[in-house]
Amino acid sequence: MQIGPHRLKNQLIVAPMAGVTDRPFRQLCKRLGAGMAVSEMVTSRPDLRGSQKSARRADHAGELEPISVQIVGTDPVMMAEAARHNVAQGAQIVDINMGCPAKKVCNVMAGSALLKDEPLVGRILEAVVMAVDVPVTLKIRTGWDPYNRNALAIAGIAERAGIRALAIHGRTRACAFSGSAEYDTIAEVKSRTRVPVIANGDITTPEQAARVLHYTGADAIMIGRAAQGRPWIFREIAHYLATGQRLAPPSTAQIGALLSEHLQALHAFYGDVMGVRIARKHVGWYTKALPGAPVWRSRFNLIETSQSQLAEVKRYFEELPALDLQPGAIEEELAA
């Protein structure tokens, strides 16, 4: 997979997820096999640029290259300035968000709401591409509802504007995350555009990753929710694509070690108070399929210090039985 001058080590990309793909998460996913990770979306509003939240989202210190930063907004001039600002802060790829279905984003006509206004899409893409000398990519949905799928038209606009890669989530804005992703639209876009296409949506297993790549002809796949609490999914998929065989899943001891590493990175990145709060959702994802986790998490979520969190995670995993986590077992538990 090639994006401008950047040749990725594989076809596996971490999807941008607000509140999830912070620097600790991106670094861990890259270390565990992802070829690239896209940041949380960063607002294009200059009045919010100096906020602590925006500053953290623009923090790429020590991160493996390439650095991809997603920006969101509706004004071409502000989006162009946001692109220049983030490149000055270290972004090597600028990604434009036209795929987020969240109400607070769509209510201001940003994210996937922009798909309704194709002329504005063109103006934003052209402004951003012209503003920076790094590759610009775009993330969209298949349309704004099942009766109005205009991904192919958007792809044409993107190609003419000079977009270097197009990620498509296989749902419409109206679908949000309900129902199943469809890949026919992605396959059609791939067959009718020269822009590299990245398929996204419901890719939760190595087998599904292979099926989606084959069916759509996409150049790469993007993994989002399936990586929450399972950052090792990228090395599992990479191994399967290379060999056709399932990689043995991590043992409970290995999961505990990865979780502890992740928590320490969160505590260091956010500080003790916020780090402890943010850690709770990650602990929930990592332990969802493990024995006794619901009761244990209710106690864990009352812990207020980073050191106590780490000690409690260590105790929980030391007391777990040595489970035989066969390939597919964790996915089955998570789907239950």
Which residue in the list 29, 100, 106, 175 is annotated as catalytic? 100
Instruction: For tokens 């087998």, name the residue.
Output: 207
**Distance (Å) of CA 15 to CA 36, 50, 141, 261, 313:** 9, 25, 13, 21, 27
Q: Answer yes or no: 100 catalytic.
A: yes
* Whether the Cβ atoms of residue 23 and residue 229 lie closer than 8 Å to each other: no
- Catalytically annotated residues: 100
